[in-house]
Amino acid sequence: MRIGEWDFPADLLYDRFHQWVRPEGGEMVLGVTDYASDTAGDILYIELPQPGESFRREEPLGAIEAGKWVGKVYAPFDGVVVAVNEELLRDPRAVNLDPYGNGWLVRLRSTAEPGAMMRGDDYRVWLEGELARQPSAEAAEKNGATSGAGR
C-alpha cells in the first residue's frame, strides 16, 4: 500500500511511533517505516538493546540519530529481545535503503498481546489524518519549523 510517496506493506502491523512489526516464526521483527526513515533524513547512528533484555510496552528500546532528528525506538508490547540487527550498528544506512528488509532493528518475543498496533487500512486512515494536521512545508518554512518523523 502507498500513502503519499511512502510504501507500507499490507501484511505488517504499525504503531503511532511509525514503527512496524512482522510476525515471523513465533517472534516479532520490529523496524521503522519508510515514512519515518525518509522524513528523518540520513540515519547516522543506531543504539539497540542487548538480546535477553526485557521490556514493557511503549518503553524505549533504543535510539536512532538522523540528519534531521534524534528519536527513540519504542517497545510495541511487553516482551524480550531475541536478537538485534548488528549490521546496523556498523552501517545504519540500511534503515534508509531497505526499512522493511535489511533495515529491521530487533527480533522480539512477546509476553503479552501486541497493543495499539494497526493493520494497514487502519494505519492509512491514522497517518493520513496526521499528515493533514501538519502544516504545509511552505508554512512550516515561513515559521522556521523543521521537519521530522513526528517522534
Domains of the chain (ranges; CATH) run: 8-135 (2.40.50.100)
Determine the pLDDT at residue 148: 42
pLDDT tens digits, 89-107: 999 999 999 999 999 999 9
H helix or E strand, kind and range, residue 142: helix 137-142
- Residue 31, φ and ψ in degrees, nearest 5: -150, -175
User: Which residue in 55, 93, 104, 48 sits closest to 73, CA to CA?
Assistant: 48
- Residue 36: CB atoms within 10 A of its CB come to 25
Banded pLDDT at 64 (limits 50, 70, 90): very high
Contact assessment for residue 102 and residue 87, using Cβ atoms and an 8 Å cutoff: yes
H helix or E strand, kind and range, residue 114: none
Beta strands in the chain, from DSSP E residues, in sequence order: 2-3, 6-7, 13-14, 19-24, 27-32, 43-47, 54-55, 60-66, 70-74, 79-84, 106-110
Whether this prediction's pTM lies above 0.85 is answered by no
The average confidence (pLDDT) of the chain is 84
Contact assessment for residue 132 and residue 150, using Cβ atoms and an 8 Å cutoff: no
